[in-house]
Homo-oligomer: A and B are copies of this chain.
Amino acid sequence: MDLRLLRCFVAVADAGSVTAAAQELYVSQPTLSRQLHRLEREIGLVLFRPLDGRLVITSAGRELLPRARTLLAGAAAVRAFAREIAAGAIGAVHVAAPTAILHDVLAPLIAAAPPNLPPLTVRPMDTEKLYDAVDGDADLAVGAHAPPAHLSARVLARLPVRAYVPANHGLAINGSVTLTELIDHDLLLPDRQHHIRQVLDVATAEAGLVYRTAGGFESAPVALANAAAGRGVAVASGDPAFGLVPLPIITAQGPMMEPLFAAWRVDHHAPSTLAGLAGELTAYLIDRHGPWVAPETRHSVPALRTRSLH
């Protein structure tokens, strides 16, 4: 079922003669006649019949004609679609991210549904395999670790790392906590591979401080749950839960922050779409957490804004 032959069929049916159709298709008339016969032999139908020195379409040809047109239109649509893809269009963006980011950032963004957002398909991905996902079936990877250099990447935002305490906790009064104050408490932390742990390690090392922890938890929400149970102060960067109060952690370098990255392959077919999505993510995070989380700026610690955190 060669589409070219189908095109010949439609052209002859429209033009009313092989000669006329051959001119429109820029082929010689015998060539077109042969292609018609080739099609007839291929599909086992007589499509035209000579009458008065002309060709007239047969009943079988009349039956086939609209289907042939439809198929050719479908082929043209696929061609046009391919051109759109080549021009950078994209139907749906597949995003890979750790569960926490998926839960705290991507799902809320999808729920907010900004107007320019392409359809997103998000998939949870272990931190270790995160940036390899763009070599597979992910268009974009969003994570807290710095992506490898061979990927195109953007810093989406610098999210505050915070201490989470019950509302009646002594630290809750100030609205923030210094690193020095923090290490006097038992810290409830996620596992070592979580990026938040590395940020904390670097900050305490720079300050010459040491913190106490009863070992890592499997995930940030579990650490928060233990904090709510009064077992210590949780350190994390996600949304508060269990009625806990989040306190920005102040270091000598300013508020402790955790960067959020988006990364994609340099040879992705729609880099501008992905960069645009990264911009949407940044805009969303700024809208949600305030302008001071913007990747390129450094502001002072804002007053704690509990309302906008929900």
Residues on A lying within 8 angstroms of B by beta carbon are 1-3, 6, 43-46, 49, 51, 56-60, 62-64, 67-68, 70-71, 74-75, 77-79, 81-83, 85-86, 90-91, 94, 135-137, 139, 267-270
List B contacts of A78 (CB < 8 A).
Answer: 1, 6, 64, 67-68, 71
Cβ distance A263 to chain B, nearest Cβ, rounded Å: 14
Q: How long is the Cα–Cα vector from A115 to B72 in the complex, in angstroms?
A: 34
List B contacts of A45 (CB < 8 A).
Answer: 82, 85-86, 269
Cβ distance A35 to chain B, nearest Cβ, rounded Å: 15
Whether B3 and A44, one on each chain, are in contact in the complex, defined by CB atoms closer than 8 angstroms, is: no
Whether A70 and B62, one on each chain, are in contact in the complex, defined by CB atoms closer than 8 angstroms, is: no
Q: How long is the Cα–Cα vector from A248 to B68 in the complex, in angstroms?
A: 52
Q: How long is the Cα–Cα vector from A79 to B83 in the complex, in angstroms?
A: 27
Cβ distance A8 to chain B, nearest Cβ, rounded Å: 15
Whether A58 and B269, one on each chain, are in contact in the complex, defined by CB atoms closer than 8 angstroms, is: yes
Whether A79 and B43, one on each chain, are in contact in the complex, defined by CB atoms closer than 8 angstroms, is: yes
Q: How long is the Cα–Cα vector from A271 to B274 in the complex, in angstroms?
A: 60
Question: With A56-B136, A62-B137, A64-B81 as given contacts, are A86 and B43 in contact (CB-CB < 8 Å)?
Answer: yes
Known: A2-B2, A56-B136, A59-B268. 13 other contacts (CB 8 A): A43-B86, A44-B83, A46-B269, A56-B135, A59-B270, A60-B270, A63-B90, A64-B82, A67-B77, A68-B78, A70-B74, A71-B75, A71-B78
Question: With A71-B78, A74-B71, A79-B43 as given contacts, are A63 and B85 in contact (CB-CB < 8 Å)?
Answer: yes
Whether B1 and A75, one on each chain, are in contact in the complex, defined by CB atoms closer than 8 angstroms, is: yes
Whether A135 and B51, one on each chain, are in contact in the complex, defined by CB atoms closer than 8 angstroms, is: yes
List B contacts of A83 (CB < 8 A).
Answer: 43-44
Q: How long is the Cα–Cα vector from A135 to B56 in the complex, in angstroms?
A: 8
Q: How long is the Cα–Cα vector from A1 to B7 in the complex, in angstroms?
A: 12
Cβ distance A290 to chain B, nearest Cβ, rounded Å: 33
Cβ distance A70 to chain B, nearest Cβ, rounded Å: 7
Closest partner residue, chain B, to A91 (CB atom): B63
- Sample 11 A-B pairs with CB under 8 A, ordered by A number: A6-B78, A44-B82, A44-B83, A44-B86, A59-B139, A60-B86, A64-B81, A67-B78, A71-B71, A71-B74, A71-B75
Whether A85 and B71, one on each chain, are in contact in the complex, defined by CB atoms closer than 8 angstroms, is: no
Cβ distance A201 to chain B, nearest Cβ, rounded Å: 33
